[in-house]
Amino acid sequence: MGEDPTTASGGSARSFGPTLWTIVLTAKDPSSPRRRAALETLIAAYWKPLYYFVRRRGNDSETSKDVTQGFFTALIEKNYLQSVEQGKGKFRTFLLTAIQHYLSDYYDRASAKKRGGGVGVLPLDFARAEDEGLVQGAAAQTPDDLFRQEWAIEVLGQALRALRKEYEDAGRLAEFETIRVHLQYGASAGARYTDLAAKLGLSESDVRNRIHRARVRLREATLDVIRAYTQSEADTEEELRDLLGAFSQ
């Protein structure tokens, strides 16, 4: 396809947008010299939502670490991605189904040891995930709901990083950091425009307009990220509704 899949792990959401299936196709090709980089990109995006899914299934942290490490090791060594085909549903749905099958096999092997094989231990920050994720998740959430919410956080994080880069490139990084809390889904504008205006040296009207424009751009950046994981505009809009629904739970 001519596209370098490694570029999808950084840069703006606009550069990230069209590359997901390029990454997947590269990751499933054992002969590709870029396979490892593609796998690392996929793992970086998906490991935390899958870890939370396993935890919410009633597993303790050590079991969940073992399962998550083992799943991604098997993904690499046994090339689970061979069964992935574009046009057969969302990639995250494939991963969720695959890890449920892996969990069933794991439970059947009660004496299973931690995987490692030839790939070593994957650099996954489980301690930070524990601090961040299960504290956020309500006790009533199902494993699927928590996976969905954490995936929504990952997508929004990519969009925010892309927007931050745009402000940084424009020499307006301080402005972005000042208004950032007002941009995320569900954030309340509150009654602090006066304080923001004083901090930025702008009028309240200017602050309101800039926050509005930034919110519009964040939505566009979020759609750019989602397009990387979908195959049509209808799928993109459906995924956006699903993402917003995850935050409203």
The total number of structural domains that make up the chain: 1
Q: What's the angle, vertex CA 154, arms to CA 156 and CA 229, rounded to 5?
A: 85
pLDDT at 131: 62
The residue ranking higher by pLDDT, 242 or 189, is 242
* Domain with 124 in it: 5-247
pLDDT at 176: 94
> Can you tell me the distance from the alpha carbon of 72 to that of 136, in angstroms, rounded to the nearest whole number?
24
- Kindly report the pTM of this predicted structure: 0.63
> Can you tell me the distance from the alpha carbon of 221 to that of 161, in angstroms, rounded to the nearest whole number?
9
Mean pLDDT, range 119-133, rounded to an integer: 62
Distance separating the N- and C-terminal Cα atoms of the chain: 39
pLDDT at 162: 92
The secondary structure of residue 5, as a DSSP letter, is G
- For 232: left if phi > 0, alpha if psi spans -120 to 50, otherwise beta; the answer is beta
> Can you tell me the distance from the alpha carbon of 8 to that of 18, in angstroms, rounded to the nearest whole number?
9
pLDDT at 216: 92
Q: Evaluate whether 70 touches 115 at the Cβ level (below 8 Å).
A: yes
pLDDT at 104: 84
Residue 198: closest CA among 206, 187, 190: 206
How confident is the prediction for the chain on average, in pLDDT? 76
Q: Which two tokens stand for residue 59?
A: 């597993």
